[in-house]
Amino acid sequence: MDFFKDIILKKQILGDENLISNKNSFHIAFGIDANFTIGTGVLIYSILQHNKANMVFHIFTDSIYPEDVSRFKKLTSTTHNIAIIIYYVNPNNFSNLPTEYTWTQAIYYRILACECLPSSISKILYLDSDILCLKSLINLFNYQFNDNIAMVTGGIQNQNRYIKSLNYNFKDTFYFNSGVMLINIPAWKKHNISSKFIDLLSTHNDFKYFDQDVLNILLYNKVLKIPHKYNDVCPLMNINSNINNDTIFLHYAGSCKPWHQWGKEHSLTKLWLNYKLKSPWNDVPILQPITYRQAKNMARINKKNKQYLSALHWYIKYSLWKIKSKLKL
Tell me the pLDDT tens digit for each residue of 39-92: 999 999 999 999 999 999 999 999 999 999 999 999 999 888 999 999 999 988
Beta-strand (E) ranges in 33-172? 55-61, 82-89, 123-127, 131-133, 150-153
In which band, very low, low, confident or very high, does the pLDDT at 324 lie, cut at 50, 70 and 90? confident
Q: What are the residue ranges spanned by the domains of the chain?
A: 8-233, 289-329
**Mean pLDDT along residues 241-250:** 92
Are 163 and 173 in contact, with CB atoms under 8 Å apart? Answer: yes
Which residue from 298, 291, 229 is spatially nearest to 257, judged by alpha carbons?
Answer: 298
What confidence score (pLDDT) does residue 1 get?
47
- Core vs surface per residue 205-220: b (16+ CB within 10 A) or e: eebebbbbbbbbbbbb
Residue pLDDT, tens place only, 154-189: 755 555 555 655 656 666 668 899 999 999 999 999
CATH superfamily of 8-233: Spore Coat Polysaccharide Biosynthesis Protein SpsA; Chain A (3.90.550.10)
Residue pLDDT, tens place only, 216-235: 999 988 999 999 999 999 98
The proportion of the chain whose per-residue pLDDT surpasses 70, expressed as a percent, equals 92
| β-pair partners for 152 | 225
What confidence score (pLDDT) does residue 139 get?
94
**Residue 182, φ and ψ in degrees, nearest 5:** -90, 115
| β-pair partners for 87 | 11, 60
Residue pLDDT, tens place only, 4-52: 888 999 999 999 999 999 999 999 999 999 989 999 999 999 999 999 9
**Residue 277, φ and ψ in degrees, nearest 5:** -65, -20
Which residue from 277, 279, 253, 278 is spatially nearest to 266, judged by alpha carbons?
Answer: 253
In which band, very low, low, confident or very high, does the pLDDT at 103 lie, cut at 50, 70 and 90? confident
Report the relative pairing of strands 8-15 and 26-32 from DSSP bridges: unpaired
**Mean pLDDT along residues 146-154:** 91
Beta-strand (E) ranges in the chain? 8-15, 26-32, 55-61, 82-89, 123-127, 131-133, 150-153, 177-184, 223-225, 232-233, 249-251
